[in-house]
Amino acid sequence: MIPNLTGALSSVVNVVPTPDKMTIIPLRDTVPVPTPAGLPYVTMFNPETMSEGNAPRYNDERSLGSEGGKQRFVDIPPGSFNFEFLIDGTGASGDKREVFAEVALFKETVKLRSETHSPSFLMFVYGTFIKTGVLTNMSVQYTMFRSNGTPLRAKISITCREHTPKLLGLLKANFLSPDLTREHQVKVGNSLPLLCNAYYDSPRFYLEVARVNQLTSFRKLRAGQTLLFPPVEK
Protein backbone atom coordinates (compact mmCIF):
# COMPACT_ATOMS: atom_id res chain seq x y z
CA MET A 1 0.00 0.00 0.00
CA ILE A 2 2.69 2.49 1.05
CA PRO A 3 4.78 2.22 -2.17
CA ASN A 4 1.56 2.93 -4.09
CA LEU A 5 1.38 6.35 -2.43
CA THR A 6 4.68 7.41 -3.97
CA GLY A 7 3.37 6.17 -7.32
CA ALA A 8 0.26 8.29 -6.81
CA LEU A 9 2.36 11.42 -6.36
CA SER A 10 4.35 10.56 -9.47
CA SER A 11 1.14 10.06 -11.45
CA VAL A 12 0.04 13.59 -10.57
CA VAL A 13 3.35 15.09 -11.68
CA ASN A 14 3.18 12.98 -14.84
CA VAL A 15 0.08 14.88 -16.02
CA VAL A 16 2.40 17.83 -16.69
CA PRO A 17 2.23 18.09 -20.50
CA THR A 18 5.23 20.40 -20.94
CA PRO A 19 7.90 19.97 -18.23
CA ASP A 20 9.65 23.24 -19.14
CA LYS A 21 6.50 25.34 -18.53
CA MET A 22 4.87 26.28 -15.24
CA THR A 23 1.93 23.91 -14.80
CA ILE A 24 -0.89 24.40 -12.30
CA ILE A 25 -2.82 21.26 -11.35
CA PRO A 26 -6.13 21.51 -9.47
CA LEU A 27 -6.46 18.93 -6.70
CA ARG A 28 -9.63 17.54 -5.20
CA ASP A 29 -7.80 16.52 -2.05
CA THR A 30 -4.26 16.08 -0.74
CA VAL A 31 -4.86 13.37 1.89
CA PRO A 32 -3.49 10.79 1.79
CA VAL A 33 -2.09 11.70 -1.64
CA PRO A 34 -2.87 14.39 -4.26
CA THR A 35 -6.00 13.66 -6.30
CA PRO A 36 -6.41 15.68 -9.53
CA ALA A 37 -9.70 17.55 -9.84
CA GLY A 38 -9.46 18.61 -13.48
CA LEU A 39 -7.18 19.43 -16.36
CA PRO A 40 -3.91 21.25 -15.62
CA TYR A 41 -3.32 24.83 -16.74
CA VAL A 42 -0.03 25.49 -18.56
CA THR A 43 1.22 29.07 -18.57
CA MET A 44 2.10 30.61 -21.92
CA PHE A 45 5.33 32.05 -20.49
CA ASN A 46 7.20 31.04 -17.38
CA PRO A 47 7.24 33.55 -14.51
CA GLU A 48 10.20 35.91 -14.64
CA THR A 49 10.24 36.37 -10.86
CA MET A 50 8.87 34.44 -7.93
CA SER A 51 8.75 35.37 -4.25
CA GLU A 52 8.46 33.20 -1.16
CA GLY A 53 7.88 34.35 2.39
CA ASN A 54 7.48 32.98 5.88
CA ALA A 55 7.11 34.98 9.08
CA PRO A 56 7.32 33.41 12.58
CA ARG A 57 4.67 34.71 14.97
CA TYR A 58 5.49 36.15 18.40
CA ASN A 59 3.47 37.55 21.27
CA ASP A 60 4.70 40.91 22.46
CA GLU A 61 4.66 40.55 26.23
CA ARG A 62 4.72 44.01 27.76
CA SER A 63 2.68 45.98 30.21
CA LEU A 64 0.53 48.93 29.21
CA GLY A 65 2.57 52.09 28.70
CA SER A 66 5.96 50.36 28.80
CA GLU A 67 8.61 50.50 26.10
CA GLY A 68 10.05 47.42 24.46
CA GLY A 69 8.91 43.99 25.52
CA LYS A 70 9.70 40.30 25.59
CA GLN A 71 8.96 38.40 22.40
CA ARG A 72 7.46 34.97 23.07
CA PHE A 73 7.53 32.58 20.11
CA VAL A 74 4.09 31.25 19.12
CA ASP A 75 4.47 29.28 15.91
CA ILE A 76 5.53 29.38 12.28
CA PRO A 77 2.46 29.62 10.04
CA PRO A 78 2.42 28.23 6.50
CA GLY A 79 4.58 30.16 4.07
CA SER A 80 3.34 32.02 1.03
CA PHE A 81 4.55 32.43 -2.51
CA ASN A 82 3.54 34.65 -5.41
CA PHE A 83 4.34 35.14 -9.06
CA GLU A 84 3.04 36.70 -12.26
CA PHE A 85 2.68 35.29 -15.74
CA LEU A 86 1.85 36.89 -19.07
CA ILE A 87 -0.76 36.03 -21.70
CA ASP A 88 -0.05 37.44 -25.15
CA GLY A 89 -2.60 37.65 -27.94
CA THR A 90 -0.55 39.79 -30.34
CA GLY A 91 1.55 36.97 -31.81
CA ALA A 92 4.72 39.02 -31.30
CA SER A 93 6.44 36.12 -29.52
CA GLY A 94 5.61 33.59 -32.21
CA ASP A 95 2.81 32.13 -30.11
CA LYS A 96 -0.67 33.60 -29.90
CA ARG A 97 -3.54 32.94 -27.52
CA GLU A 98 -6.93 34.51 -27.10
CA VAL A 99 -6.63 36.44 -23.86
CA PHE A 100 -10.23 36.17 -22.67
CA ALA A 101 -10.22 32.40 -23.30
CA GLU A 102 -6.92 31.93 -21.45
CA VAL A 103 -8.13 33.90 -18.44
CA ALA A 104 -11.31 31.81 -18.42
CA LEU A 105 -9.25 28.59 -18.51
CA PHE A 106 -7.18 29.73 -15.56
CA LYS A 107 -10.29 30.69 -13.58
CA GLU A 108 -11.70 27.23 -14.33
CA THR A 109 -8.59 25.68 -12.81
CA VAL A 110 -8.84 27.66 -9.55
CA LYS A 111 -12.63 27.86 -9.28
CA LEU A 112 -14.88 26.87 -6.40
CA ARG A 113 -15.64 23.14 -6.67
CA SER A 114 -19.30 22.19 -6.36
CA GLU A 115 -18.48 18.76 -4.87
CA THR A 116 -16.36 20.20 -2.04
CA HIS A 117 -17.92 23.69 -1.77
CA SER A 118 -14.41 25.14 -1.62
CA PRO A 119 -11.69 26.15 -4.09
CA SER A 120 -9.30 23.47 -5.29
CA PHE A 121 -5.97 22.85 -3.71
CA LEU A 122 -3.35 23.65 -6.33
CA MET A 123 -0.09 21.96 -7.20
CA PHE A 124 2.51 24.08 -8.99
CA VAL A 125 5.15 22.25 -11.02
CA TYR A 126 8.01 24.04 -12.74
CA GLY A 127 11.28 22.15 -12.98
CA THR A 128 12.34 21.34 -9.41
CA PHE A 129 9.77 23.79 -8.01
CA ILE A 130 6.89 21.66 -6.72
CA LYS A 131 4.51 23.19 -4.21
CA THR A 132 0.94 22.70 -3.10
CA GLY A 133 -1.15 25.56 -1.81
CA VAL A 134 -4.41 27.44 -1.78
CA LEU A 135 -5.05 30.61 -3.74
CA THR A 136 -5.42 33.63 -1.46
CA ASN A 137 -5.34 36.43 -4.03
CA MET A 138 -5.58 36.80 -7.80
CA SER A 139 -5.61 39.84 -10.06
CA VAL A 140 -5.72 40.24 -13.84
CA GLN A 141 -4.22 43.33 -15.47
CA TYR A 142 -5.11 43.97 -19.12
CA THR A 143 -2.52 46.09 -20.93
CA MET A 144 -3.37 46.17 -24.66
CA PHE A 145 -6.71 46.25 -26.48
CA ARG A 146 -8.13 45.86 -29.96
CA SER A 147 -10.23 48.65 -31.38
CA ASN A 148 -13.36 46.78 -30.27
CA GLY A 149 -12.15 46.74 -26.66
CA THR A 150 -11.13 43.07 -26.38
CA PRO A 151 -7.78 42.60 -24.63
CA LEU A 152 -4.59 41.59 -26.43
CA ARG A 153 -2.38 41.16 -23.38
CA ALA A 154 -2.95 40.28 -19.76
CA LYS A 155 -0.82 39.71 -16.70
CA ILE A 156 -2.15 37.38 -14.02
CA SER A 157 -0.76 37.85 -10.51
CA ILE A 158 -1.43 35.21 -7.87
CA THR A 159 -0.57 34.74 -4.21
CA CYS A 160 -0.86 31.36 -2.51
CA ARG A 161 -0.52 30.00 0.99
CA GLU A 162 1.39 26.74 1.22
CA HIS A 163 -0.58 23.62 2.08
CA THR A 164 1.57 20.55 2.70
CA PRO A 165 0.01 17.72 4.72
CA LYS A 166 2.56 15.63 6.60
CA LEU A 167 2.25 12.62 4.34
CA LEU A 168 2.58 14.67 1.16
CA GLY A 169 5.64 16.32 2.67
CA LEU A 170 7.17 12.92 3.33
CA LEU A 171 6.48 11.75 -0.20
CA LYS A 172 7.84 14.90 -1.81
CA ALA A 173 10.96 14.81 0.38
CA ASN A 174 11.48 11.18 -0.69
CA PHE A 175 12.12 9.91 2.83
CA LEU A 176 13.94 6.68 1.90
CA SER A 177 16.77 6.59 4.45
CA PRO A 178 16.35 4.18 7.40
CA ASP A 179 17.78 6.79 9.78
CA LEU A 180 14.56 8.77 9.32
CA THR A 181 12.57 6.15 11.20
CA ARG A 182 11.04 7.82 14.24
CA GLU A 183 10.44 6.37 17.69
CA HIS A 184 7.42 6.98 19.89
CA GLN A 185 7.01 6.00 23.52
CA VAL A 186 3.44 4.93 24.10
CA LYS A 187 1.42 6.88 26.65
CA VAL A 188 -1.84 5.97 28.32
CA GLY A 189 -4.69 6.56 25.89
CA ASN A 190 -2.57 6.26 22.73
CA SER A 191 -4.04 4.23 19.87
CA LEU A 192 -2.24 3.09 16.75
CA PRO A 193 -4.62 4.72 14.23
CA LEU A 194 -4.35 8.07 16.06
CA LEU A 195 -0.55 7.81 16.24
CA CYS A 196 -0.43 7.05 12.51
CA ASN A 197 -2.57 10.10 11.89
CA ALA A 198 -0.09 12.19 13.92
CA TYR A 199 2.97 10.89 12.06
CA TYR A 200 1.58 10.40 8.55
CA ASP A 201 -1.50 12.66 8.54
CA SER A 202 -3.59 9.55 7.87
CA PRO A 203 -4.71 6.69 10.16
CA ARG A 204 -4.78 4.16 7.31
CA PHE A 205 -1.24 2.82 7.90
CA TYR A 206 -1.90 1.26 11.30
CA LEU A 207 -1.70 -2.32 9.97
CA GLU A 208 1.67 -1.69 8.29
CA VAL A 209 3.02 -0.06 11.45
CA ALA A 210 1.70 -2.96 13.52
CA ARG A 211 3.59 -5.41 11.29
CA VAL A 212 6.81 -3.37 11.51
CA ASN A 213 6.56 -3.44 15.29
CA GLN A 214 5.49 -7.12 15.38
CA LEU A 215 2.33 -6.32 17.31
CA THR A 216 -0.11 -9.18 17.76
CA SER A 217 -2.97 -6.70 18.26
CA PHE A 218 -3.01 -3.05 17.25
CA ARG A 219 -5.77 -2.42 19.81
CA LYS A 220 -3.66 -3.21 22.87
CA LEU A 221 -0.74 -0.84 23.28
CA ARG A 222 1.29 -0.96 26.47
CA ALA A 223 2.20 2.34 28.11
CA GLY A 224 5.96 2.79 28.00
CA GLN A 225 6.62 0.54 25.01
CA THR A 226 8.51 2.03 22.08
CA LEU A 227 7.00 1.97 18.58
CA LEU A 228 8.84 2.60 15.34
CA PHE A 229 7.28 4.78 12.63
CA PRO A 230 9.36 4.27 9.47
CA PRO A 231 9.41 6.46 6.37
CA VAL A 232 6.46 5.87 4.07
CA GLU A 233 8.65 3.99 1.59
CA LYS A 234 9.46 1.42 4.28
Please identify, among 117, 148, 169, the residue that sits at the C-terminal boundary of a domain: 169
Q: Are residues 108 and 209 in the same domain?
A: no
Mean per-residue pLDDT, 21-46: 83
DSSP state letters, 119-147: EPEEEEEETTEEEEEEEEEEEEEEEEE-T
Which residues form the domain of 185? 177-229
Q: Is residue 35 part of a domain?
A: yes
Residues in the chain: 234
Mean per-residue pLDDT, 192-208: 84
Q: Are residues 94 and 9 in the same domain?
A: yes
Q: The pTM is what?
A: 0.62
Query: pLDDT (tens digit, 9 = 90+) per residue, 123-182?
Result: 898 877 788 899 999 999 999 999 999 999 999 999 999 987 665 555 555 443 444 677
Q: Are residues 150 and 209 in the same domain?
A: no
Q: What's residue 1's pLDDT? A: 42
Q: Are residues 219 and 109 in the same domain?
A: no
**What is the rounded distance in angstroms from the CA atom of residue 154 to the CA atom of residue 101?**
11
Q: Are residues 186 and 158 in the same domain?
A: no
Percent of the chain with pLDDT over 70: 79
Q: Are residues 78 and 162 in the same domain?
A: yes
Mean per-residue pLDDT, 17-28: 80
**What is the rounded distance in angstroms from the CA atom of residue 207 to the CA atom of residue 216?**
11
Q: Is the peptide bond before 32 cis (omega within 30 degrees of 0)?
A: yes
Q: How many helices (H) and strands (E) does the chain have?
A: 5, 14
Q: Are residues 28 and 121 in the same domain?
A: yes
Please state the domain count of the chain. 2
Q: Are residues 165 and 194 in the same domain?
A: no
**Which of 3-17, 40-54, 109-123, 146-160 has maximum average pLDDT?**
146-160
Q: Are residues 30 and 80 in the same domain?
A: yes
